[in-house]
Structure 1
């Protein structure tokens, strides 16, 4: 029975459906009014044309809603976010252009997520870079997988509204891992957390770290906007501290929780491939990805 429910969860990863309950949450969490949101989309579209600061590959309401939801339907803020998103794609095209989607299955457990999405937590995602063998593939592939994970996930209206919570688990991190972190890599990773992407980050929790954190965090701190600081929490090896912020129902057993609907990146991507639709393939190709049969 559990496997059946989990399979349903994987299939739902490709859903772009908006149900009434979601729209109620969108009003509460994103200041969205279904009756007038088309007006906000039109205002954002006009602003794009008038200011000429970016040239997004799409201008339809469905696409623009991602940015409006991420900035509580404040049109100027949504526009600034869209400009940053477009500039990021222009600056680092190698992160997606010609990237073979299914080849990134090699990332395996470096990223992990749970399929239990709640208004208070959103989608819980876990970065476990210490599981990565630096001799198997370059750090750029980790970033490519992160970009892909976001590009697929943000298609879901549910995740656009609920946002997400992040755990950065530094267990297993060595100097070999730290040596791969250039300022460019650090900026790219921070960008995925909502700096240049239409993501609603609720909080970020850093756990299982030692003195190596000083070097690790120093690289990232310079790129983190000051308004994000109050969303970042350091717990060291204290899981009780982590559990004060994230309900046990949402945490995997590894962190003392009871959630078993976890999905390592490799498995998640396999399921995306299994349940993908023609519309999904079309969207990924439009972004520049190589989608093999």
Structure 2
């Protein structure tokens, strides 16, 4: 695959062409306010902003990368700028999660074999569905950082897909085998930092989040996560006590065969491995993007979007005691 350049430039770029069906074009117009002319103007304005922004030292300028941020913010120019800058800061500020993501490292194969995360494909609504099973994480081998790194690798292979940008994602968390040890891997400060990244920096339209068989001892952690998200996002959480109950909402055909769907887990693992291999160079090249944090825009430099919230931490500790 050709690796996109991170050189800041207003050179002539290849004209973007919408490649999806009319169904997706209609969704883009109805939900994102996207038309051919709106998109053209927005890409031009965002490129100009990146070039003129002294804080951004290196950034991809290709249309599919910039459309991540324009589409997730429904073509609101200021909000797209904020999210793009915060995405760059996030990647630089938390290297343990977002830097040196080499999909060829042996630990990646180990995690795929254990499958704490599996991309399942697209449901009938065209949304990308991902299945996570944190209880599959080998606590003797891996920390929460490895799980976040695997998730980041997976999403970076999908962020540039027009389908994902327009219709969004559905996340299923099967907590059947989760233990207190898995939950204890997440310090409160890490939970807060990661959830703020999700809220402010991820170029992802999260449409639904499904929690399957969540144990009671995980409730406080989930409540903390919910408190850190927007009200709109909180309405997209669903809890289920069985796969049968979950498939009243989730398209069953997209689930693994072991969950009543069509494709067996071992085939999904192979597909995941192939996808990570295909996008290895593109993911590694993300490290070339860089920001000078001393020159950040006010919305990234002066607010507390990546600072730990002592009030939330205090409330969480009180919740644990009660």
**2: CA distance, partners of 1:85 / 1:62:** 15
Report the more deviating stretch, 52-61 or 140-149. 52-61
Larger Rg: 2
Q: 1:254 offset after TM fit, Å? A: 4.2
Alignment map for 1:66-145 (pairs within 5 Å): 66-103=68-105, 104-108=108-112, 109-118=115-124, 120=125, 122-145=127-150
**1: CA distance, partners of 2:179 / 2:252:** 29
**2: CA distance, partners of 1:192 / 1:259:** 34
Is the Cα contact below 8 Å between 2:135 and 2:182 reproduced in 1?
A: yes
Is the Cα contact below 8 Å between 1:27 and 1:33 reproduced in 2?
A: yes
**2: CA distance, partners of 1:176 / 1:267:** 28
Q: 1:159 offset after TM fit, Å? A: 1.6
Helix, strand or coil at the partner of 1:37? helix
For structure 1, the 5+ residue unaligned runs are 1-15
Change (3 A) 1:113 1:62: closer
User: TM-score w.r.t. structure 1 length?
Assistant: 0.79
Helix, strand or coil at the partner of 1:42? helix
Helix, strand or coil at the partner of 2:233? helix
Is the Cα contact below 8 Å between 1:252 and 1:258 reproduced in 2?
A: yes
Is the Cα contact below 8 Å between 1:96 and 1:287 reproduced in 2?
A: no
1:220 corresponds to which residue?
225
Change (3 A) 1:121 1:186: farther
1:57 corresponds to which residue?
59
Alignment map for 1:141-152 (pairs within 5 Å): 141-152=146-157
Change (3 A) 1:53 1:242: farther
1:287 corresponds to which residue?
286
1:258 corresponds to which residue?
261
Change (3 A) 1:110 1:143: same
Q: 1:107 offset after TM fit, Å? A: 1.3
1:8 corresponds to which residue?
none
For structure 2, the 5+ residue unaligned runs are 1-15, 289-322
Helix, strand or coil at the partner of 2:170? strand
Q: 1:137 offset after TM fit, Å? A: 1.9
1:108-150 Cα shifts (integer Å, max 9, x gaps): 21001212343x3601111100111200222211111111111
Helix, strand or coil at the partner of 1:102? coil
1:211 corresponds to which residue?
216
Q: 1:219 offset after TM fit, Å? A: 4.1
1:268 corresponds to which residue?
271
Is the Cα contact below 8 Å between 2:121 and 2:254 reproduced in 1?
A: no
Change (3 A) 1:181 1:25: same
Change (3 A) 1:37 1:192: same
Change (3 A) 1:243 1:116: same
**1: CA distance, partners of 2:258 / 2:273:** 23
- Between the two proteins, the alignment pairs up a number of residues equal to 267
Change (3 A) 1:73 1:18: same
Report the more deviating stretch, 44-53 or 195-204. 44-53
